Structure 1
Amino acid sequence: MKNPRILLIDDEEELRRSTAQALELADFPVEALSSGEDGLARVSFGFPGIVVTDIRMQGMDGMTLMQRIREIDHEIPVILVTGHGDVQLAVKAMREGAYDFIEKPFSLQTLAGIVARALDRRGLVLENRRLKAVAGKNDDLETRMPGRTPVMVDLRYRLRAIGATEADTLIIGETGAGKEVAARALHDLSSRAGRPFLAINCAALPESLIESELFGHEVGAFPGALRARHGKFEHGRGGTILLDEIGSMPLDLQAKFLRVLQERTITRLGSNETLPLDVRFVATSKVDLEGEVAAGRFRADLFYRLNVATLHIPALAERRADIPLLFLHLVREAAARYGREDPDVPPSVLADVGEADWPGNVRELRNAADRFVLGIGQPEVARAGRTDDGGTDLPLADRVAAYERRIIASTIAAHGGALKPVYETLGISRKTLYEKMQKYGLDKQDGRLVE
C-alpha cells in the first residue's frame, strides 16, 4: 500500500499525544486529530490507511464517525478505543462493521498488533481494486457512481477531466441525486486527495453566525467572542471545500465569498490581517442558479465565477435503465455495511424497482435497499401517470410490452448476465429469450436497455 496512514482521533490531548508517540516509535505513520469532524474530512474512498478512534468524544462520537466513514468506503478498517463501560457498545459496533476494538488501558504491543493487521487488510483491499481496474473491471469512480446509460458515462468522463485540474466547480442536481458523492470524487481525483475535504451546508448555518463560522474571528470581535477561532475556510487549507446549497448563502456574504474566490485570502472578523487560502472550492445547488440570478437572489458575478466548470448530476428519471443494476449495487453495499450475506433479489422486485418513480433519487433508492437487506419490507413502488414506455396513457399492448421488457432486463441483471438461469426462471426457451432480447433491444451481457 502506497503511503499508508493511521488517523488517530481522540479529544483527550494527553492520551492522543502519548498514543501517537508510541505508534510512531513502532514505525507507524500517524496523524493525530482532536475531533471526528477533522478525521472525516481526511477520509476518501481510496484512503490509504486505517482509523483509530475513541468512542466517547465531544461533537461527533466514534460510533457516528465509523458510520459516516463506512458510507464513504465500507472497507476502511475502523478500530474503536473503549472505556471499561463501553464494551457492549463496542461489540454492537463490531456487528455494524468495526474492524476491532481495544479497551483502555491498553498496551502498545496489543494496539500495534491490531493496527498492523488492519493496515495489511487495507493494503490487500486497495491492491485488489487496482488489479480489477487493470483487468478492465469497474474502477473506483464507477464503483461510487455506477451506471451505464450515456448520461452517466459522460458524467464520469467529465469528473475525471475536471478532477485532475484545480478548477473551482459548480455541481447542479436534484435532492438525493449524488452531488456530494461527485464533489468527493473531484477531490479524490485531484492532487489534493491527501488533504482535507470539508463539507459546509450553507442552508444549515445560522445567518447570525455564518460569517464567523466561515472566516473565523479574533478575541472581542463581537459580544461573546472570548477567544480567537479558526473558521471553516482555514480548517480546509490545502484541500477541497464543498459549499453545499450555495444558493442559500445570504447576499451580503456572497459578496465577501466572491472576494475570497478572486483573491484566495481571508480576513477573520475583528482583524485587519489577510491570510492566504490555498483551497479548491466546489459548490452545489438543487435550484437553477441562473433563475436565482434573474430573481435577484444570487449575485451574477459570483455565478459566473463559479460557472467555469459545471457538472449536472442526472436524476434517476433521466437514467431509468440504470435503476435495477443500481439497486443491486446498493443492496450489496448495504449487506456489507450491516455485516450480512448478499441477499438474492427476485427479478420481480427488480422489475418493480425499475418501474417506480424515485423523487428522492439515489438517496431514496439507497433507503429502499437498506430496508430490503434488513428484511423490513419490499421496496415501496410509486408510479406517476407517465407517458413514457411505462406510462398509463399508452395502449394496453404497448404497456404490456414495456412491462415484459423490464422483467427480462431485470432478470438478466439479477443473474449477472448468465442467460441459462434467465430463461429457466422465466419459463421460456433459449430461442424465445434471444428473440425477445432482440425485439426489445436488450444487451445480452448485462441486461441494460440499449438507448
Structure 2
Amino acid sequence: MPTEDTLPVWLVDDDPDVRESLSQWLDVSDLAVRTFDAAAPALEALRDDAPCGVLVSDVKMPGMDGLALLDTVQALEAPPPVVLMTGHGDVPMAVAAMQAGCWDFVEKPFAPERLEECVRRALQQRRLALENDRLRRALREGDLAGRLLGQAPAMVALRQQLATLAPVRANVLVQGETGSGKEVVARCLHDFGPGAEAPFVALNCGALAPELIESELFGHEKGAFTGANARRIGRLEHASGGTLFLDEVESLPLSAQVKLLRALQEGEITPLGSNAVRPVELRVVAAAKADLQAMAREGRFREDLYYRLAITELQLPPLRERREDIAVLFSHFCRQAAAVHERDVPEASPALLQALEQQDWPGNLRQMRNAATRFVLGLEIPGLEDGEVAELGSLNAQVAAFECSLLRAALGRHGGNIQAVMEELELPRRTLNQKMLKHGLRREAFLDLADPESAGPSEP
C-alpha cells in the first residue's frame, strides 16, 4: 500500500517555466513529483493505473483545460484529489469547480508554501481513501469468513461486528473461554485495520513473572535494575502504530494496571530507569476469560482501566454453543494437520462426526485442533476411546447420522455447489433442500471447501 510519502504529486501545466519552478520547490520539500505539459498524457497515465497522490493542474491550457480534466478524472474509479491553479478573477469559477469535486484551488500568484500545504492535506486524504478501499476490498473478498469458519448465528454476528470495528482504532475487549480463538480475532482486527502494516505484538500477561511485567510493557534502560545489561524496548513502544494484544489481561497486578492506564490515557510511556517520555499510538485488544466487571467490583481489577480497554466488547461463543460448525471445523483442522505431517486426509465416519458433535469441548478450538491432529496420525481421540463412537442409539439415529455425513461430505467436495451435489447424489433439488434443512446444513458453510479436482463450476 503506497503511503503519503511515496505517492507522487502530478503537476500539469503547459508553461515549462512554471513546471520547473514548482517541481523544484516540491522536490525540495521531500515530495515526489511527476510533470505533464498537457492534460491528455496525464489522463492516459491515470487510466493506466499509474500511482498518483494528488493531481495539480492549471485551469487555462490549450486542448483540454483544467476544468475538463477535473470532470474526466472525477468519472474514474477511486480518483485522486484535484487541485486547480487559477488566475486572478477566476475565483467564482474555482468555487464552482470545488462544488463539482475539486479538492482545492490556489489563486495566482501564490506563495509556494501555500501550494505545499494544500498538497500535503490532499495527500493525507488520498492515503486515507486508499487505506479504506483496501479494508473494504479485503472484507468483500471474504477473508474474515476464511479465518473465522462457521455459519452458526453467533459466528455470523461476530464477523459482522469485526467488519465494522476493524477499520477504526478503538480499543476492543475480547471475552471468551480458553481456546475459543481470541488471538485469531485480535489478528483479524489488526490485519483488516488501518495499522495493518505496523507490528502486531502479543503479550500473555498470565505467563509473566510480576517483577518483569513493567519492563515488558514499558521497556528499560541499561542498568535500570540488576540484570538489565542492555536497553530494551517495551511492548507498547514496539506496537506503536499497530496493535498490542494483551492476553489474560485479568492477570495484570494492580500496580501495572495503574501505569498501563496512564500510558493509554496520555499516549506516552517512560521506560524504567529513564526520564525520557516517548509517544505511543496504538490499538489495544485485550482478552480475558474472567468477568472484568465482577473483578472490578471486588477490587481485583481497576474499573477505570476496564472502561479504557472496553471501548467495545466482543463475546466469543464456546464450541459447545455452535455444534452445527463442528464437522466443518474438524475437517478444516484435519486438512491443516495432514499438510503439516505430510499425511493423507482420512475420511471421518458418520459415527465419529456424531460423537464429536456430542462432546462438550471444554478446550474449544484448541482441543479440537488436537483431536484432528491425533485423528490424522491414527491415534485415539481423548474422550472417544471408551466406545462412544460405536454406541449411536437407534437405527433411525444411525441412518440419520449416515445421511447427514453423506450430505456434508458432498457439499464439502463441491464447495457448496448445489447442482453438483444433486447430480452426485441423484437427488431432486426440493428433496436436497429438505434434507439440508433437516440436518441444519447451510450451503454457505461449504463455499471455500471445494476439492479442486471434483468441484464443478460454482453457482452465482
TM-score range, shorter chain: 0.5 to 0.7
Is the CA contact (8 Å cut-off) linking 1:324 and 1:410 kept in structure 2?
no
Task: Give the aligned residue type for 1:408.
Answer: E
- Measured after TM superposition, the shift of residue 198 of structure 1 is 0.8
1:234 equivalenced with 2:229 (yes/no): no
Give the 3-state SS of the residue equivalent to 2:208 in structure 1: coil
Runs (4 or more) in structure 1 with deviation over 4 Å come to 399-407, 417-424, 429-436
- Aligned partners of 1:351 and 1:406 also within 8 Å: yes
Matched residue, 2:368: 365
Secondary structure of the structure 2 residue equivalent to 1:209:
helix
Which residue pairs with 1:437 in the alignment? 435
C-alpha distance in structure 1 between counterparts of 2:437 and 2:312, whole Å: 41
For 2:154, the equivalent position in structure 1 comes to: 151
1:190 counterpart = 2:188: no
Q: Note if contact 2:361-2:367 (Cα within 8 Å) is conserved in structure 1.
A: yes
Within the candidate set 399, 404, 410, 2:405 is matched to: 410
The CA distance in 1 between the partners of 2:328 and 2:270, in whole Å, is: 48
> How many pairs are equivalent?
302
* Secondary structure, counterpart of 2:284 in structure 1: strand
Contact 1:349-1:378 at 8 Å conserved across structures: no
Partners of 2:232 and 2:433 in 1: how far apart?
A: 69
Query: SS of the counterpart of 1:243?
Result: strand
Q: In the alignment, does 2:343 pair up with 1:345?
A: no
Maintained 8 Å contact 2:422/2:432:
no
State the alpha-carbon separation in 1 of the partners of residues 403 and 340 from structure 2. 29
Between the aligned partners of 1:272 and 1:240, the Cα distance in structure 2 is 25
In the alignment, which residue of structure 1 is the partner of 2:62?
none
Rounded to whole Å, the distance in 2 between the matches of 1:370 and 1:406 is: 23
Question: What's 2:177 paired with?
Answer: 174
Residues 1:210 and 2:213 are matched in the alignment: yes
Shift of 1:260: 1.1
- Runs of 5+ consecutive residues of structure 2 not aligned to the other structure: 3-133, 387-391, 447-460
Q: 2: distance between equivalents of 1:344 and 1:431?
A: 26
Question: Which TM-score applies when normalising by structure 1?
Answer: 0.60
The structure with the largest alpha-carbon Rg is 2
Q: Distance in 2 between matches of 1:246 and 1:354?
A: 31
Does residue 319 (structure 1) correspond to residue 317 (structure 2)? The answer is no
Return closer, same or farther for 1:351/1:436 CA change in 2, 3 Å cut-off. Answer: farther
Residues 436 and 405 of structure 1: is their aligned pair in 2 closer, same or farther, counting only changes over 3 Å?
Answer: farther
Kindly report which structure 2 residues correspond to 1:98-137, keeping only aligned pairs within 5 A, or say none.
none
Q: Which residue in 2 is equivalent to 1:31?
A: none
Structure 1 residues 433 and 370, CA, compared in 2 at 3 Å: closer, same or farther? farther
Check if 1:224 corresponds to 2:232.
no
Deviations 1:212-256 (A, max 9, x none): 121111233223333322222222222211000000000111011
Counterpart position of 2:97: none
Relative to 1, partners in 2 of residues 1:292 and 1:316: Cα closer, same or farther, differing over 3 Å?
same
1:152 deviates by 0.4
1:261 Cα deviation from its structure 2 partner:
1.2
- SS of the equivalent of 1:220 reads coil
- Which secondary structure does the structure 2 equivalent of 1:304 belong to? helix
Deviation track 1:406-443 (CA, whole Å, cap 9, x = no partner) reads: 5433331122266569869xxxx989975972783644
Indicate the RMSD between aligned Cα atoms, in angstroms. 3.4
Aligned AA for 2:407?
A: I
Give the Cα separation in 2 of the matches to 1:141 and 1:211: 34
For 1:276 and 1:365, locate their aligned partners in 2 and report how far apart those are by CA, in whole Å.
42
Instruction: Give the letter aligned to residue 221 of structure 1.
Output: A
Instruction: Give a deviation string over 1:13-67, Cα, whole Å, max 9, x none.
Output: xxxxxxxxxxxxxxxxxxxxxxxxxxxxxxxxxxxxxxxxxxxxxxxxxxxxxxx
Alignment-derived partner of residue 273 in structure 1: 276
Give the alignment's TM-score, normalised by structure 2. Answer: 0.59
CA change 1:441–1:228 in 2 (3 A) is closer
5 Å-filtered alignment, 1:382-421, equals: 405-416=400-411, 419=421
